[in-house]
Amino acid sequence: MAETVKYLVIGNPARHSLSPAMQNAAFDFFGEGRPYSFRELTADELPGFAEEARGKLKGFNVTAPFKQAIIPLCDVVNEEAREADSVNTVKVIGGKLYGYTTDGYGFLEAMRTALHIEPSGCRFMILGAGGAAGAIARELKNDGAAEIMIVNRTREKAEKLAESVGGRVAAKAEAPEADCVINCTALGLGPDDDSPLAAALVGRCRAIFDAVYLPTRLQRLAREAGVKIADGRLMLLYQGARAFEIWTGHAAPLVKMQLALNRELEARK
């Protein structure tokens, strides 16, 4: 690691991440330069990275597929992250790793802002059962969701998540029954990725939240069908802002972070 790098986002892939642009805008606002970068790892490299981070980093973000794998490598995991079975933010203090999740918070703020949906009394379908899905499901449960339906390729993982939040395993065909369908799969990160929902189903949905912040086929199908759709940009913004506050104790400069995020997205078109 370069000596000036004190914060990272780790994942596989990670080079596509917009977090460096957004976080460096926040650090620069407080006169701390641009200490945030990315690093791609394999699963075998994760334990070694965790040890390296103890002495060289002040904090890091965790993205797919390591949000659950990082948990046993942390010294302390807060209750929220433990319940969600997901860590996306780690703070390094005195050589110890402290794990948090900010995904659920980021999602709720984004859903309220972009779709004007409050969880209380509403029915939700979550596509996927990984770290982000767990954090989101927990937030929905705690905010009074009437029903949480989980759809995942691996039924065992879907059952585990559903049981943890008092939800149930569902089929994609039930999507129109939900007040909001939330895509927590990675479909959309690849340029040739298909939609996690068939076009006929998308057109019957009430609202869709796609946690992928890049343009996806799911988002295009929803817009063509006139379905309310939000992408993951605001979720990324809000979860990143909370992570910044955990690391630094400063109130996140949301306007600066959002401007940097939008500029980076435009530059990639």
Which residues on neighbouring strands pair with residue 168, listed in sequence order? Answer: 149
Query: Which domains, ranges and CATH numbers included, belong to the chain?
Result: 7-101+234-267 (3.40.50.10860), 104-231 (3.40.50.720)
What secondary structure, in 3-state letters, does the chain show? CCCCCCEEEEECCCCCCCHHHHHHHHHHHCCCCCCEEEEECCHHHHHHHHHHHHHHCCEEEECCCCCCCCHHHCCEECHHHHHHCCCCEEEEECCEEEEECCHHHHHHHHHHHHHCCCCECCEEEEECCCHHHHHHHHHHHHCCECEEEEECCCHHHHHHHHHHCCCEECCHHHHHHCCEEEECCCCCCCCCCCCCCCHHHHCCCCEEEECCCCCCHHHHHHHHHCCEEECCHHHHHHHHHHHHHHHHCCCCCHHHHHHHHHHHHHHCC
pLDDT at 167 (0 to 100) = 98
**Is 141 among the residues known to form the active site?**
no
pLDDT at 1 (0 to 100) = 45
pLDDT at 3 (0 to 100) = 53
pLDDT at 2 (0 to 100) = 44
Task: Report yes or no on whether pTM surpasses 0.85.
Answer: yes
Ordered mean pLDDT values, 10 residues apiece, the chain (269 residues): 82 93 98 97 98 98 95 97 94 98 96 97 97 94 97 96 97 98 88 91 98 92 97 96 98 98 89
CB within 8 Å of 56: residues ≥ 6 apart: 1, 6
Catalytic residue among 6, 56, 58, 67: 67
| β pairing state of 89-93 and 59-62 | antiparallel
